[in-house]
Amino acid sequence: MGTKRETALAALKTLSTFLEPFLPIVNTHMVHFYTDQVFEKLNQDLQSDLMALTDTQIAELPNDYLNISKSKPSHIASNLLQLMEDIDGHNLDSLNVLDDLPSVWKEMDIKPLTSLIHFDKFMTVKKSHEVGALCDTIASFANYTDSKLIVDLGCGKGALASMLSLNHGLYVSGIDAAGFSAHAEEGRQSMLQKTFKSHVKKARLTEDEEAVDLSVRFRRSTLYLSNNFDIRPLIEECSQHFQQSFNQVGLVGLHTCGNLASTSVQLFVNSPESRFLCNVGCCYHLLDEFFDKSNSGLEQGFPLSSHLKSKSFFLGRNARMVSSQPLERYATRKQMQPDVLFYRSLLQVILEEKFPSTDSVEFQVGRLRKPVNNFRDYLQWATKKLKLSLELTDEEIEAYLTRYNGDKRRHLYAFFQLRLLLASLVEYVILLDRLVYLTEQEVVSNSFLVRIFSPVTSPRCYALLAFKKLKEKSI
């Protein structure tokens, strides 16, 4: 444990030190790209290297970055290439903090379990991929720790909970902040049970093999969780509901949003009844930061580790927002960003020039519901949405386009790609902060950070896994 703790802490120190000077770039809002002269704030050599790229090469920059350890593209000049190599040197693989599931099985001496049936009729491809991977992992941990009850934090519609119950016979207590219709819940469970039973019969698993319990053992609660939440009353309620005795539980969560992921980690540490943790977080922009002066809330989700707290480390909301951008998906698409990115930045120039008295006002345009053909259409839509009276002649609109098309437009797209490369480091800091926090806790025996999903299919692909010191199993 000492070695892992030292490795995780060293990685967090290295990564946070490297990222800190780049936080102004990552915190840049593209809306203000022109009005704040963002591109001009980059050093001259980096500006030149970015502008030496063709449009196609700018579009392929994420893909070039992901493959930079294998090949160094000759079309990327030295300053940009060095920065890309430096960023790559601070990813989770390079920092030696990632484990894979086979190594977890081996280190913990866990026998991995496999689901009886995988089916996706009631789930998207993404959700099916996530639930399939997480279901067997959680079941294996539950078997290892002798935890019959799983507490699913942020359970949503209960897809993961249902699969844990049907495939592995586990009891699941789902907790969500939003209420769900009891009638709809019963309908979903009934449909899942019928479909599962049909698949089992087709697979001929019930006649010649051990009988399978085809019931969904799932109970939902609508609760607000905090890191000092007492889990014991919940366990007692589940014992009464399921007519079973539960002494210990596993805490799990598939894409727990914002503070809930941090709360899950702290709840695991603070609850003696919890034996293991399996958590995949998301929605980093919803995290409350301890050192955010504008945050007066009681719950802070970042940082958790003693090291980052001692440094008063602060990321910033926009840094957390862009950390969720799917780098691997952008790399696969190899396309320039849509025109609306340029349109919104140009709109901000017009708003500040035509309405100078509103400099401090943050205009919230929102997302387009459908594509627009050109900037004129976008301008008409945006001013209507903002309820502004803005009369511009075709000549004035053309003058703005002439002024910002060409190199200035390419500046914006190149900067977006550069920021994208750095943004993933923000997610890594958040994840490493949680991992280091776990290694600091005496009650935690083992903790791991694992890439559990395909990052192309599911960009928030990292799971935090942790175990308490095991009690002797009863014979």
Q: Which domains does the chain have, with CATH numbers?
A: 2-70+337-421 (no CATH), 98-327+423-468 (3.40.50)
Amino acid 201: pLDDT: 54
Q: How many CA atoms lie within 13 A of 161 on its CB side?
A: 27
What is the pTM (predicted TM-score) of this model? 0.90
Cα distance between the two ends of the chain: 28
Amino acid 387: pLDDT: 86
Amino acid 228: pLDDT: 84
Tens of pLDDT, residue by residue over 109-135, are 999 998 876 666 667 888 888 998 999
Amino acid 203: pLDDT: 53
Tens of pLDDT, residue by residue over 159-195, are 898 889 888 999 999 998 765 544 444 555 555 555 5
Amino acid 315: pLDDT: 97
Q: The tokens of 268 are what?
A: 């695991």
Rounded to whole angstroms, how far apart are CA atoms 242 and 216?
11
Amino acid 474: pLDDT: 42
Which residues share a beta bridge with 465? 278, 448
Which regions of the chain are under pLDDT 70?
Answer: 1-2, 117-122, 178-215, 296-298, 357-361, 366-369, 470-475
Find out whether 430 and 284 touch, Cβ atoms under 8 Å. yes
Find out whether 255 and 282 touch, Cβ atoms under 8 Å. yes
Find out whether 464 and 438 touch, Cβ atoms under 8 Å. yes
**Angle CA 71–74–77, to nearest 5:** 115
